[in-house]
């Protein structure tokens, strides 16, 4: 692997509130009244569970994996799911601010933010049912979190406008992409941080990656906290290229017909990607801890895991669940032949602030 990027040595190819809330597709969406609700530790006996999550698993039309899993979970247990989403960094920062008055029961975030949540003491130790079937690098060694959906970093482009699509990082520096590229903000969005990590891998370290991103800034529209909102802009042709992830963009492509997924390579190299799993952990001092455990267990059931590809457009976290639906087949084809590398998130996470500060300095953002 390139020097200066903390990777494993191997790579391979191929609140609870009593204020009424609005019910949506079997789950409950938190409102602004959340800020006035008390948290605390222990279980209140209420039949609710609160989830803070990175976006991407809930459908715009209430047809995503979360929508199905939350509705089924509520039907089977009578426990309602209260849900709040945002960027991974945003959700972890919120949980940190609420640490002395915990509102969430579960938090779901992409790496390295789920590792950050663990380091900051936000996560309780819990070994959910089915976690023994999750790959070792996709879960905490101390049972603080586990992947519930696997995913991979990627890019998208407008296939209607770009009949000759880009294949390399260097092509994105061309003047034809002036104000036609946008990527989500490193340090705020998990996928934005992912872009920084991939660039460091492909260019051989932090310094050359930042030098490249400084050049790319000439064509970049500017930072945005939400990766999810970039795909509609690409689909409309407002921009032509954006970062993303396979699970979210694959699901979006069902309704946004002009977007296509690709994996940039350094000029002369091979396309690469890495796992950007959704890591879920039980909050320390969760107000509805027992309900949080039940929901985490449910997410890892064989039933829920089999629905990851068919409904959510992602990859099962459990290695023993191998769906054969049409989506699963198409997803495997997407990453076939792409070199997969494994970032060492335990080394990356403590250095994350430094990487983000370097990006800010290099790009002026």
Q: Which two tokens stand for residue 185?
A: 């903000």
> Looking at residue 133, what is its pLDDT?
97
| Contact between residue 299 and residue 167 where contact means Cβ atoms under 8 Å apart | no
User: What pLDDT was estimated at residue 138?
Assistant: 95
Question: What is the pTM (predicted TM-score) of this model?
Answer: 0.81
Closest CA to 199 of 189, 212, 184: 212
Q: Could you tell me which residues come within 8 angstroms of residue 168 by beta carbon, excluding any fewer than 6 positions away?
A: 264, 265, 266, 267
Q: Please state which of the ranges 2-11, 95-104, 167-176, 356-365 shows the lowest mean pLDDT.
A: 2-11
User: Which residues, 6 or more positions from 350, have their beta carbon under 8 angstroms from its beta carbon?
Assistant: 119
Residue 280 and residue 302: Cα distance in Å, rounded? 17
pLDDT single digits (tens) 128-159: 999 999 999 999 999 999 999 999 999 999 99
Cα–Cα dist 14/339, whole Å? 6
| The dihedral formed by the CA atoms of 138, 139, 141 and 142, expressed in degrees to the nearest 10 | 160
The pLDDT of 318-343, averaged and rounded, is 95
Mean residue pLDDT across the chain: 89
Condensed to tens digits (0 to 9), the pLDDT of residues 31-71 reads 333 333 444 445 667 899 999 999 889 988 899 999 999 99
pLDDT at 97: 98
Q: Alpha-carbon distance 146 to 243, whole Å?
A: 25
């Amino acid at each position: 692997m390139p020097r200066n990027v903390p990777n494993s040595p191997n790579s391979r190819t191929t609140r609870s509130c009593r204020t009424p809330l609005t019910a949506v597709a079997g789950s409950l969406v938190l409102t602004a009244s959340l800020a006035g609700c008390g948290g605390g530790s222990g279980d209140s006996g209420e039949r609710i569970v609160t989830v803070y999550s990175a976006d991407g698993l809930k459908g715009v039309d209430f047809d995503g994996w979360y929508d199905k899993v939350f509705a089924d979970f509520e039907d089977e247990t009578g426990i309602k799911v209260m849900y709040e989403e945002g960027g991974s960094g945003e959700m972890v920062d919120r949980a940190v601010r609420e640490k002395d008055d915990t509102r969430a029961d579960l938090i779901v975030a992409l790496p390295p933010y789920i590792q950050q949540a663990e380091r900051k003491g936000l996560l309780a130790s819990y070994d959910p049912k089915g976690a023994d079937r999750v790959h070792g690098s996709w879960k905490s060694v101390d049972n603080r979190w586990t992947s519930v959906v696997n995913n991979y970093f990627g890019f998208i482009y407008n296939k209607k406008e770009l009949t000759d699509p880009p294949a390399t990082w260097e092509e994105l520096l061309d003047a034809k992409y002036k104000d036609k590229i946008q990527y989500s903000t490193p340090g705020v969005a998990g996928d934005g941080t992912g872009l920084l990590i991939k660039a460091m891998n492909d260019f051989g370290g932090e310094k050359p990656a930042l030098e490249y991103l400084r050049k790319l800034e000439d064509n970049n529209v500017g930072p945005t906290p939400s990766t999810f909102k970039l795909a509609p802009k690409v689909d409309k042709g407002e921009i032509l290229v954006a970062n993303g992830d396979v699970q979210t963009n694959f699901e979006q492509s069902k309704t946004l017909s002009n977007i296509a997924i690709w994996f940039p390579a350094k000029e002369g190299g091979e396309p690469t990607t890495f796992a950007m799993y959704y890591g879920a952990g039980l909050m320390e001092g969760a107000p509805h801890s027992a309900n949080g455990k039940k929901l985490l267990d449910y997410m890892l059931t064989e039933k829920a895991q089999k629905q990851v590809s068919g409904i959510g457009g992602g990859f099962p976290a459990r290695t023993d669940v191998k769906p054969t639906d049409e989506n699963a087949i198409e997803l495997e084809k997407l990453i076939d032949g792409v070199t997969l590398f494994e970032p060492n998130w335990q080394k990356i996470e403590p250095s994350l602030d430094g990487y983000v500060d370097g990006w800010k300095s290099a790009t002026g953002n």
